[in-house]
Amino acid sequence: MVSRSKPVLGSSLARAGLVVLRLVLAAEFGYAAWSKLREPWMLFAMSVDAYKVLPEWGAVAVARTLPWVELLLAVMLFAGLWQRVARPAASVLLAVFFLLMLRSYVRGEGIDCGCFGPGEAISPITLLRDGGLLAASLLLTWAAWRGKRHEPLPAAQKTSGLAGHGR
């Protein structure tokens, strides 16, 4: 009989750390959605329009839909549903947000970031916060796709010839 070793403490801590990051990201998306949904959508549309990357109708469309997308991502991340979709989607959104904020900051535009409703100007603090969230999201995305596909078969299955027979 082959004995299995206990999981390495580091891997248990790593898994726990990924769960904490996932829940923090879920909370961030949930709070962002709530802060936009509690205000008239037109206020958020003005924040979106200030970035000057979309026509007026595009800014309106984003303002009306993005909070609901953020809420859906928050629920998916919190519940652990469809992680191979939710995590990359969160990473893409955060990357777009971060790049747009960085562009506006470098240009000295002095606009609201729109992250959590009106009134938060883009600053080094908002860039640091959103950059950290992006890094966490990218780590979570990597972990979701890393999976267990490459784990070797246990020694007992390799030697008994049962590999691939559903046991």
Task: pLDDT tens for the chain, 167 residues: list them.
Answer: 554 555 444 588 888 889 999 999 999 999 999 999 998 888 899 999 999 999 999 999 999 999 999 999 999 999 988 988 999 999 999 999 999 999 999 999 988 888 887 778 899 999 999 999 999 999 999 988 886 554 444 554 445 454 444 44
Q: Give the DSSP per-residue string, 108-130.
A: T---B--BTBSS-B--HHHHHHH
Whether 118 contacts 112, CB under 8 Å: yes
Which one-letter amino acid corresponds to residue 49?
Answer: D
pTM for this structure?
0.77
Q: How far is CA 93 from the centre of its chain?
A: 8
According to DSSP H, which parts of the chain are helical? 9-37, 41-50, 56-79, 83-107, 124-146, 155-160
The full set of domain ranges for the chain reads 19-146
